[in-house]
Structures are given as C-alpha cells and as structure tokens.
A and B are shown apart, each in its own frame.
Chain A
C-alpha cells in the first residue's frame, strides 16, 4: 500500500520527531528544500499519514503616518502632552502648533483625555487623566519587530486584534495576509513503521536504476492517481516589458532596420539643438527635463556646433530660422536624454551615406512625478529612415505595417507638431472602442538635416510602456518597474 519516495520517508522521519511543524522548520531540520517538503507533505496527506494545515495570518507594518506616530506619539498624545506642560490652551492656538489638530481633538474627546469648553467663539482645552493606550504599546511592538504578527504583541491578543483593526482603519498600520503551512502527523502516521513493509503486491514507489537493470520493477510499481493535484512549478522567464521589446526588435530587424544605441547622459546640443528645438522652448525648462550637476557640461563637436548654430539663427535654404541668440554654454549643459531622437542623429552623423533604416529601443527621462500613468523614466522605440526622396506617405505606410505586426489592425494618422519635423503626425490605434495615441513623427525639417549633410530623413517614436499597458491589461504603469513576483510567475509568456 505504501508508495513513498525517499524524500517522503525523510519527511515522515522528521515529522515523527516533531509531530507538528511549519514547512520552513521541516525544511531546515530535514535538509529538504521547502518545495520538496511541500510535495512530500502532499503525498503523506494523500496517504493519510499527515495533515497539511494552511493558516492565513496577517503581518502588520507601519504606514508612513504610523512610523511618525511610533516616533512622536499619536496626535492626541502629542496634544495631551502639550496641555500637560502648558496648561489649558485655546483651540486656535493649538491649530498653529499642530496642523492636524482636528483629528487629535476628536480623539481627545472620545478618550476623555481633555475637558473642552466654549470660550468666546473659541474652545478651551484642559488636560485630564490619560493612561497609556494599548494602541501605543502595539505601535512600539510593531516598530521593534522585523515581521510583526499577533504572536509578537505584548498585550492580551483579543484586545490586540481589536486595536489593530482600529489602527488599520486610521491608516496607521497596514496588514498583509500571508499563508503559512504547517504539517501535522496523524495517528496513522504515528503508527507507520519507518521501514517499508516487506513484499507486498505493489511495493515499489520510485523507479530506481537498480530496478530498471534487474527488471524487478515489473508488476511491483503502484499506479498513481493521475488526477491528483500537484504544486505549481514556475519557470524562469522574461519580464513582459522585455518580451514586448524583444518582439518589437524582431519586427524591425525583419523589416530591414539596423539597431543603434546612444548615450543616456547627453548634451543639450544633441538632445535639443541638433533637432532645431529653439533654446527657449518650454521643453527645455527645468520643469520638464532633468539637468545634471555632475557632469554639468559636455564637450561639443566644434564644426557641427557652428553649422547647427547657423541654422538656429539664420535658418537655411529659404528658411528664416529662430533668430535671436544662440548660447553655446547652454548647448554644453548635460541632461538625461528626453528622447532617443538625438541618438538616432548621432548614428546618422557617423554613417551619413543613404540609404539607412535604423531603430533603437531604450530608456528616456522626463521630469514627471510618478503616478499610475506617468514615470520619470520610460522606454522609447525610435525609428529613422534616411534616403534620397522620402515622403510622409512612406513613413505612414511603414508604421501601418509595424502596428499590424504588433496586432493593431486599425490605425489612424492625424496632424501633429514637433519642432523638428514638417509635416508632423501623431498616430492612434483603435482598442476597445477608443483611439489611443501611440506614435509621433514626421519628415525632418531641412534645418535639422542640412547642417548634418543628410538627405531626406523620416522619423518616429513609439511609447513602449503604453503598448505594454494595453497588451498586458495594466491600469498602473508602476507595476512594470516594481515587480510583483507572484504576478510575473502567473503571467503567461504568450498571450492568445
């Protein structure tokens, strides 16, 4: 009847000594890895020799507010302490000292820690007795523990449970439910001798090399219950954002594009001036771009700088330029690149002979606060085509092909604006009943291409994270960069 493997026997032996233990403890005492312990425990359970008990236990941690309260006391305690030292005080005066006095007063009233009486349209607060609260004890307990559970409280558990609920409501603590598994030896397990019983009809649990060579396995292997559940197994795999980037690489290479890269730490010259972005353009504000203090300035290619400066001041070939001053000091300032368009032109300057179709997928930086749709850093896919006589229609047609390969069948293009392209466009894809902007680009202006000695240049930038959010069904962009291991494990490598 027994069909236990060597590992199963090892676990049973360990369990016979412990009677009951968590999976972690069993792993340490038996020398088996945790996942093996879980597997074997499952087998023992099927045989009725052990019972696996899952308990969900909350682990508590302090929120930012909670951390501050653990440090400085609850707001009502802070106000109470103040009243003890300074005597009865008016509410308006308290307001100046404690910005969040409203919360504190609510609790002072509820706890009966202060006597509050009206005084000429104001209120006067006088301190009353205020004993230490279980809340305060628990805050200190959480602060002291590495991983705080109900087992770590220094007060009665029943009280603690209630107090923790209240603190959770006040957003002072946060609870995570964690699953822990304990294995408990059953009566049958206790009575099972540690040696396998002698010759039975099916007496072999695991096939061994010995059995294969001797042929002695015949008729002795116990059939398994093929429907029995197994523990999930997760492979090592690529991050979904990377997978999308890999997919896009493949598309561009297949379409004849060559990959390029450029520096993240870039001069204003390569990031803006080369692209004919006027030096007083709002995108060059401290508001929108990360400037560097170390290194603060970068060297410029002298010849090229002179030609770009001329295009800015006087234009070229029938153009009037931006006029005004052009400050080379400004051009030298170091920034974190705000796009990969500058990197594409670095490549074209090194390889000025057409034709060229190039692409690069890399990180860019914008000075944005983080929220569910914005990050200070994201990925851009830059595509650039250099040839003799290229048109807006060429570019739009290439992009239609790209988006079709990415699975977007309906694409539309409409007028757009970038200081460096003319005509410019923005492109949307139609997803779930609405149009979503994913790409911008156009035909580069002569003021960009001529100083660099280039012919006709087309360019576009695709936002990778927006596509990733669409394809992965995410509503928070931060999830891509703050990986939840459980999400990564569960999320399929290939989407239907």
Chain B
C-alpha cells in the first residue's frame, strides 16, 4: 500500500483546520495515519491516487468536513498549442497527453508537492513508469508546436552539464540505466519547434525546462502505453494545480490531421444508480437527503429523480468504473459506524468436510496415545518429486513438502535440550508432483524420541491408529533409506502402499545432532 508523505503546514493551510481534525477525518476516508510530525505519513489505498498529494487530500477532507461541498468546478480554455505525434512512437510508447498550467507562482512547497505526487503516480498508476510517466516543464523556455517521435537528438539531461544522446543516457545516466529496459532500442523524444529537447520519456527531462522557484507557466506531458492510465495521471495533476489557483489550458494532440485529441478533458463523468440498489447493497435505509449529502461529502453531485440518482463524478476519480463504486462512496459518506444490525436469514445448515472430520479423529487418537501436536511450514528444501518455486526467497524453501517427517525430525532437533521422551505428531497437507501434476494429500505422521523406543513400539502405534480408523492393513518390508535396514516397513491398504514406519537411520540422527533413538511413522489419510 502506498505511504504518502504530506507537509503538515501546507495541508493545514489548504484545508483551513488544524492537524488534530485532519488526523481524525483521514481514517473515515479509509486512510491510515502512520506518523504525525512536520510531515504526516499516510497510507492510502492504491485505488485512490487522487489522494496522493496535499492538494487531493485537502480537497477530500474539506468534503468530509463540509467546508466545501459537492463537485469541484474545473474549467479549461484552449492554449492552441499543438503536439504532433509521429507514428514511429507506436512501437514503444504510443500515447501522449498534455496540459498547460498558467498563472501560478511556483514556490518550494509546490515544487515538493509536485515532485512527490509525480513519483507516487509513477508507482501507483505508471507501474514504475512502464504504463505512464510524467514530465513537467517550464513552458517559457521552449517554443511550440512540439513533436513526439523516435529521435537521437543530443541534449543536456537533468542534473548534467554536457549534452548526451539518448543512447548515451541509457548507458551512462543513473536514470537511464534504471529504466533502459522500458524503451529498449527505440528512443522517444519530445522536441520543440527549434529541436530543443523537453524530455526523453520515461527516462529523464532536459535541463533546459527545469521547473524552479518563480516559474509561472507549466507544460505537462504524460506518455505511456495505455490512454486511460495517462489521462488519469494528467487529470490528477491538473486538478491539484487548479486547487492551487492555477488556470488550466488544453493542448491539441495531433495523431493525424483527422485525429486530434484535446487534453485534458476535465468534464465530470455521469453514472446513474438506482436508489433501491444503494439501499440494498449497503443494507441501510438511506433517505434521499442523506444520499445527496453522503455523495457531496465525497465531492460528487447528485440529482435524484424517479428513484434514480444521476451522479457527477470529478475527472480525477480514476477508480470509478461501475455504479457499485458510487455505492461504496455513499457508504463512506454515510459512515460505516452507522450501518444498522441486520443478519442474512438464509436458513442454511452448517456442516464439516469429511476429510477434516477424519483428521480430527486421528488427532484425538494420537493425543490419546500421548503425542503432542506440532505444526510445521509447508515450504521445504527437497526438490525430489516436488512442486518447485520459481522465485524462492531462501534456499531451504525452494519446494513444497512431500512428506511430514523431515519437519518432525527438525522439530526434534530444535528440542534436543528438552526433557525426553518426546512424542510429536502432525496431521497436514503435502503436495507431490505425479506425472507433472500437483497432487495434494492429507498425511499423518508421528515420531518418538527416547532411550528405549524401537520398531515394536511404533508398530503398536500404527496398529492402534489404523484400528481406530477401521482401516485393515498389511505390512511389507520397506527400502526407505530414512529408516534402518531391516527395521522398516510399508503400510499397505487394499494393495496400495499408503505409508511407512520404522526406526530412523542413526546417520540421519547424527546429522541433526540427535543422540536418542527415534522411531517414526507416516501414512496418507486421503487423496483429494
């Protein structure tokens, strides 16, 4: 979950209340306040990237507190600036959307907020810049119209002083090395009318258009591989700048003469939800007034007519895909603490799985025989006949266990300083690979470690457990090297080998630094 750092002073100023009220409201929006200092660290849900900034959080809190109500009004005017998209970019990063932001005096606070938001969007929506990446530029330094094309023009990248070609940047610049895999051999550049480079998305901007204090006019471009993702980023950014008092202008994105996009499009989208659906899904009898107020708290407008609500959703709410998303906002605005008690009367009759019941019986029998139950991890180190993990974290956790006995012997090894005799068992699942298919099975296994344990004792245990399960069985000699030759046997039920038992091979005991004899058994309770 993304943790966003917000300047406390900036947030207090933008909302107009002190930090205590802010900290109290945030959880009601589904946010988790992790720490409050000069900076407030807040964990937001990943579906609300519009909250990843001081501006967006302030806007939402003002709604919850009733300081501002309903849909925030966003307007744009045309800038007449064009950007021409060359088809050559189709191979790597086909889409770009842009906006012009004017009449804002950039200060330190705004720069910090913008840079943080940009980074959080690169993660939250951009999936580490792959799906979307953002460039913010000082518009006064360049000359439109712009072009977006595959190119090899050299330029001075941010934080450098010498011009470099895109290929050199991928080799030598830290950001170039980090993100080279996103572009490969195609190097998309945004250039101005004089062939000056604004940016090499998604790698780095040019030093030329660096935004500094007192910059007043911004050019924002977002490039990527999905139009919706880059529009989402742009809407969140311009909404934030608008909240800071800036005016927003559209840019003409010229794909072909007959295919021009005007971005950003800040019009609110409309969803129609039935009153009855809201009441039914939430389970509270929410009256019309309450419904309207709840939505207004969430910065939406509601127009209720003939049992239907027409909801206007602001452009930055990128998470709203379906009327049910609106219903959740009603619930949040209404308050989860206000949900009434109501219990579904379905008249179902509960029951347990046969297999689990059988496990319960076996556990009771083994406990009756004096065995102590343990639970061990299912991750194991033995690749033999096992399911193999492609991306393990530890060498000893590369597979799923195919037997419970190694875990039980490890348990004995952990307990060699504890009083003997020790009798432990586990009933649990293993997974075996049979003809490339993962077969899950419920097994039961036990070990006895004591100075006097032997084959006879463990055979008595096996006899007792299988008698209680009403499973007649035969015994044949085994060749399992876990046990001592001549003191090991297989358990055969209906002609099928279902388990083994015997005295554990002392070489294996010594490997585990165990110094008392250990006898052991293991058998299948069932397949699945």
Contacts and interface: CB of A to CB of B under 8 A. Distances in A.
Interface in A471-496: 480-486, 488-489
Given A265-B431, A483-B424, A446 B372 contact: no
Interface stretch (A131-139, A209-217, A237-245): A237-245
A183 to B, nearest CB: 15
Nearest to A417: B45
B170 to A, nearest CB: 24
B363 A238 contact: yes
A424 interface: yes
B271 to A, nearest CB: 8
Contacts of B283: 391-394
Interface string B331-353: 11000110111111011111111
A295 B47 contact: no
Contacts of A425: 336
Given A235-B370, A292-B389, A417-B30, A484 B336 contact: no
Given A259-B356, A482-B414, A397 B322 contact: no
Given A393-B282, A416-B30, A398 B344 contact: yes
A290 interface: yes
Name, among A239, A396, A480, A483, the residue most crowded by chain B CB atoms within 10 Å (CB to CB).
A483
A293 B328 contact: no
Interface stretch (A79-87, A157-165, A198-206, A382-390): A382-390
B372 A415 contact: no
Interface in B367-389: 367-379, 386-389
Interface stretch (A2-10, A13-21, A187-195, A247-255): A247-255
Contacts of A482: 376, 411, 414
A178 B513 CA distance: 15
B342 A391 contact: yes
A230 interface: no
A74 interface: no
Interface stretch (B70-78, B212-220, B435-443): B435-443
Contacts of B379: 365, 376-377
A415 B336 contact: yes
Nearest to A442: B328
A320 B389 contact: no
B228 to A, nearest CB: 6
A179 B473 CA distance: 42
Contacts of B472: none
B367 A294 contact: no
Interface string A292-336: 111110000000000000000001011111011000000000101
Nearest to A478: B377
B360 A246 contact: yes
Contact of A293 (B282, B346, B390, B451): B390
Interface stretch (B3-11, B236-244, B415-423, B475-483): B415-423
B370 A424 contact: no
B420 A253 contact: no
Interface in A353-410: 354-357, 363, 365, 367-370, 375-377, 385, 387, 389-394, 396-398, 400-401
B345 to A, nearest CB: 9
Contact of A394 (B29, B344, B350, B394): B344
A317 B360 CA distance: 45
Contacts of B271: 318
A400 B400 CA distance: 36
Instruction: Bin chain A's interface residue count.
Output: 35 or more
Interface residues of B, number: 98
Interface in B298-331: 321-325, 327-328, 331
B387 A265 contact: yes
A290 B379 CA distance: 11
A33 B420 CA distance: 10
B144 interface: no
B177 interface: no
A176 B387 CA distance: 37
A398 B367 CA distance: 34
A141 interface: no
B366 interface: yes
B452 interface: yes
A147 B281 contact: no
Given A367-B393, A445-B324, A414 B351 contact: no
A147 B513 contact: yes
A264 B355 contact: no
A34 B450 contact: yes
A437 to B, nearest CB: 9
B131 A280 contact: yes
Contacts of B324: 422-423, 443, 445-446
Name, among A249, A259, A356, A489, the residue most crowded by chain B CB atoms within 10 Å (CB to CB).
A259
Contacts of B322: 315, 317-320, 422, 445-447
B127 interface: yes
Contacts of B406: none
Nearest to B327: A423
B19 interface: no
A394 B336 CA distance: 12
Given A292-B390, A422-B324, A385 B346 contact: yes
A114 B415 CA distance: 43
A256 B348 contact: yes
B492 to A, nearest CB: 27
Given A34-B451, A315-B322, A355-B348, A363 B397 contact: no
B375 A356 contact: no
Nearest to A38: B419
B415 A484 contact: yes
B463 interface: no
8 cross-chain pairs, A with B, having the tightest CB-CB distances, nearest first = A391-B283, A393-B283, A415-B30, A417-B45, A319-B322, A355-B346, A423-B328, A253-B350
7 contacts: A147-B513, A147-B515, A236-B423, A263-B528, A323-B226, A392-B282, A414-B336
Given A291-B391, A357-B350, A481-B377, 15 more contacts: A33-B421, A246-B360, A282-B127, A290-B390, A292-B387, A315-B322, A354-B346, A355-B347, A355-B348, A357-B346, A387-B346, A393-B342, A413-B337, A423-B328, A486-B419
